[in-house]
Amino acid sequence: MPFRILIYCFLLACCAGCAATTAQVNKPAATNFKEGEELYQKKNYEDAISRWKKVKESTNVSTEMTAMADLKIADAQFAGKNYIEAGASYESFRKFHPNNAMAPYALFRLGLCNYNQITGIDTDQTPVTNTVEAFESFLRQYPSSEYAHEAREKLADCYVKQVQHEIYIGRFYLRFGKYKAAVKRLEECLARYPQSPILDEALFYLEKAYLLNGEKEKGQVTFNRLLIRFPTSKHLKDAEKYLKKYD
């Protein structure tokens, strides 16, 4: 094939590509928005996000549609389990659309993004802390929301995780003979989370820390606290054994 014909074919292909790109860019915002929803339903989240970004780039698009595109992008990131990106997008939505009717939903979803990043009690607890902050803020602002019940459940779970982490640290100190550090950590845990349903475990290890540190009277007092408050605790039997061992 002559070289000039090759050039001609190449130019035709480029023109066709440019025409397709131009057509995509020039699509009405409403069309891109609808296509984004269709792609989202097919779980094609990346392409859905791409369409909603084009909505935001469109000229003469309404503030309402821009806000909805922002929220849809966050939802697609959440559905794709990209929780860090989704959290940032929900936070951005709240920042730029604070009076939008979907602001409570965005804050609730921000809490879920943090919650879904929680791993174990022996790892970085930042996601737990961020979840607590988000859901406490949500419940202060929107206590009657349709999402309030789930927010309370997730928040209660996080409170338990916080106590479990404190007990984990206390046990770590005990294992390495840092008895005073264990006492300090566990006493602070009891003071900070006085209504936790798993404080019996904290009391058990606090009793142990006192006894190992040679503070028998405080060990006895702690055992009494455990016995009175949690008479059916699974830790009572072991706590009594430790008390007798160091009597």
Q: What is the pLDDT of residues 199-211, one digit of tens each?
A: 999 999 999 999 9
CA 38 to each of CA 14, 48, 93, 106: distance values in angstroms, whole numbers, following the listed order: 29, 8, 22, 22
Q: Please tell me which residue, 18 or 94, carries the higher pLDDT value.
A: 94
Q: What is the pLDDT of residues 20-55, one digit of tens each?
A: 444 445 689 899 999 999 999 999 999 999 999 999
Q: What is the pLDDT of residues 133-186, one digit of tens each?
A: 999 999 999 999 999 999 999 999 999 999 999 999 999 999 999 999 999 999
The percent of residues above 90 in pLDDT, for the chain, comes to 83
pLDDT at 179: 97
Give the predicted TM-score (pTM) of the model. Answer: 0.84
Q: Please tell me which residue, 108 or 247, carries the higher pLDDT value.
A: 108
CA 31 to chain centre: 33
Q: Catalogue all structural domains in the chain, each as residue range(s) with its CATH number.
A: 21-117 (1.25.40.10), 148-247 (1.25.40.10)
Which of 245, 160, 241 lies closest to 204 in space, CA to CA? 241
The pair of structure tokens assigned to 64 is 């309402």
pLDDT at 59: 82
